[in-house]
């Protein structure tokens, strides 16, 4: 092979490799590895009842409130009967404590945008 063609061929291969398909699908790009994407229907299954874990969504993030005393049995008694298994962005943001109580909670995924 001609010695002048080798650098050209090598550069072409590098250029093609750099441009090649390492784009992630939109859903994967929006989530971190291991995060689950929940629909509202799927989230409703995590109501803290009958042995189910208790999850709540706030601002698109799904939090695990299973071991939180204020959410015992899947109901947030201080908020007047707020139930786990739903999107409670408005209620949490309007509460006296706001979103600051979420900082130490484990996150389990994101809520699918509709």
Confidence of residue 5 (pLDDT cuts 50, 70, 90): very low
Tokens 């509202």 belong to 40
Half-sphere exposure of 56 (CA within 13 A, CB side): 24
* pLDDT, average across residues 52-74: 95
- In CATH, the architecture of 25-111 is Roll (3.10)
93-to-58, 99, 102 alpha-carbon distances in Å: 8, 6, 11
Dihedral angle at the C-alpha atoms of 57, 58, 60, 62, nearest 10 degrees? -40
For 72, how many CA atoms within 13 A lie in the half-sphere containing its CB?
A: 4
Show me where the domains of the chain are located.
25-111
Q: How much of the chain, in percent, has pLDDT values that exceed 90?
A: 54
Cβ atoms of 27 and 71 closer than 8 Å: no
Q: How far apart are CA 4 and CA 11, in angstroms?
A: 12
Residue 35's pLDDT band (boundaries 50, 70, 90)? confident
Q: What is the DSSP string of 50-86?
A: TT--BEEEETTEEEE-TT-GGGGGGEEGGGTSEESSS
Query: What pLDDT digit, counting tens, does each position of 12-34 carry?
Result: 333 333 444 444 333 333 455 66
Burial of 101 (0-12, 13-18, 19+ CB in 10 A): middle
Q: What's the whole-model pTM score?
A: 0.69
């Amino acid at each position: 092979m001609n010695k002048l063609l080798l650098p050209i061929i090598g550069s072409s291969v590098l250029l093609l490799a750099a441009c090649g398909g390492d784009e992630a699908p939109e859903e994967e790009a929006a989530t971190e590895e291991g995060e689950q994407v929940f629909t509202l229907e799927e989230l409703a299954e995590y109501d803290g009842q009958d042995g189910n874990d208790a999850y709540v969504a706030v601002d698109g993030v799904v939090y695990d409130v299973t071991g939180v005393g204020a959410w015992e049995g899947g109901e947030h008694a201080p908020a007047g009967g707020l139930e786990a298994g739903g999107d409670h962005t408005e209620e949490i943001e309007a509460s006296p404590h706001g979103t600051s109580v979420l900082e130490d909670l484990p996150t389990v995924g994101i809520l699918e945008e509709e």
